[in-house]
Amino acid sequence: MTTVRSTLPDDARKVACEALQDTLVDLLGLSLVGKQAHWNVVGPRFRSIHLQLDEVVTAARDFADTVAERSAALGVPPDGRPETIAKAFTLPAPGDGWVRDSDAVQVMVEALQEAAGRLRERIDATEKADPVTQDLLIGITAELEKQRWMFDAENFPR
């Protein structure tokens, strides 16, 4: 079996790929959180929230693919197996059963805010190690923060 060789020195690759793997877990988990809420949301704003949740799911899945491919390009196989995600995922998520529209919005605000905060830490960590990975993380953060803002506006005023 051959392995993909990285263009980065080992120490920089380690930093970049840890940031990418942690981001992959957050994104895949976020897509599952969004789908769970999407399937179970109820309330007067059902349709708009239902559709908005799909926007987050699509973005998270697309970014997850890009993040995984970046890791592979750096010579580290990404790990998106269900057991890996289940073991490592810690973002807020809805409970079982139906989810009131305002509760679905709130859990998405919290999950997106926490995910963006973690991404900002990874942006700092990858600044010197790999500016290309850092740039990727910056773009993802911008979109997740936009989605967080859009959900937060749904519950205004509280």
Beta-strand runs (E) in 14-95? 41-42
Give the chain's mean pLDDT. 96
- The reported pLDDT for the residue numbered 131 is 98
Dist. CA 65–CA 43, nearest whole Å? 33
Q: Answer whether 0.85 is exceeded by the pTM.
A: yes
- The reported pLDDT for the residue numbered 155 is 85
Do residues 75 and 3 make contact, with C-beta atoms less than 8 angstroms apart?
yes
* Cα angle for residues 36, 46, 110 (degrees, 5° grid): 50
- The reported pLDDT for the residue numbered 158 is 66
Residues of the chain with pLDDT under 50: 1
